[in-house]
Structure formats: C-alpha cells, structure tokens
C-alpha cells in the first residue's frame, strides 16, 4: 500500500504539473481539494483521467467519487480494491 501511495503521489505531481513538489510533500491523509493540496475542478478531471488511464478505473458516481478523492489514502485504498490494470 505504501508503494502504491508513493506511485500515486508521483503520478499526481506529474499530471497536475506540481513542479515545486516531491511525493514527500504530500501527506497521506491531507484533503486534496480546497484545504491541503488546494486542487480545483480542472484538477479533479485530471485525477479522473489518471485513474482511468493508469488503473482502469472509471469514476461516475458523484457520491463515491467524492469519497475516493478525499485524500491520497482513500484514493490508494480504492485503487487497490478496484484496479483492472
């Protein structure tokens, strides 16, 4: 799981062009949106694409999606349980 979290952080930094950040700067349980990383709606669409392309996961339910995108930990747990790639 720790390996997956690290990989996810690297992918997020790359996809969102967070050029001043390294994986160690992102806390596992910090909120991704508003507080924490401060991501916005465009970043959310990037994360959805990242999940599709890298892990074969398509998020379409708003309720589920909001839970998944709470933090790196929630994303990693969901990926581990549902990945097809």
Partner 1 sequence: MSEERKWAGKTHGTPWMHKALIGMFKVLPLELMYLIMALVIPFYMIFYRPGYTSIYHYLRRRQGWGSVRSFFGCYANHFLFGTALLDRFASYAGRRFRTDMHNFNLFTDLTAQPEGFLMYTTHIGNPEITGYMLRSDGKRMNVITFPGEKSSIRTWRENMLGPNNIRLISADDDMSWLFTLNAALADGEIVNIHADRSFGSPKTLEVSLLGAPAHLPLGPFSLAAMRNLPVLASFSLKAGIRKYNIFIYRLDTPEMAVMSREDRQQALANAYAQLLEDVLHKHPLQWYNFYEFWN
Which residues contact partner 1 by CB under 8 A?
33, 40-46, 48-49, 52, 58-63, 65-66, 69
Q: How far is the CB of 36 from partner 1 (least distance, A)?
A: 14
- Minimum CB separation of residue 69 from partner 1 in Å reads 8
Number of alpha helices (DSSP H) and beta strands (DSSP E) in the chain: 4, 0
Looking at the Cβ atoms of 63 and 84, the one nearer to partner 1 is 63
CB of 3 to partner 1, least distance (A): 27
Evaluate whether 9 touches 80 at the Cβ level (below 8 Å): no
Euclidean distance between CA atoms 32 and 26, whole angstroms: 9
Question: Is the CB of residue 72 less than 8 Å from the CB of residue 5?
Answer: yes
């Amino acid at each position: 799981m720790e390996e997956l979290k690290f990989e996810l952080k690297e992918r997020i930094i790359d996809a969102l062009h967070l050029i001043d950040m390294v994986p160690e700067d992102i806390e596992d349980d910090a909120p991704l949106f508003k507080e924490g990383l401060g991501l916005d709606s465009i970043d959310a669409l990037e994360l959805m694409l990242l999940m599709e392309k890298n892990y074969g996961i398509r998020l379409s339910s708003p309720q589920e999606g909001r839970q998944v995108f709470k933090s790196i930990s929630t994303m990693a747990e969901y990926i581990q349980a549902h990945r097809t790639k």
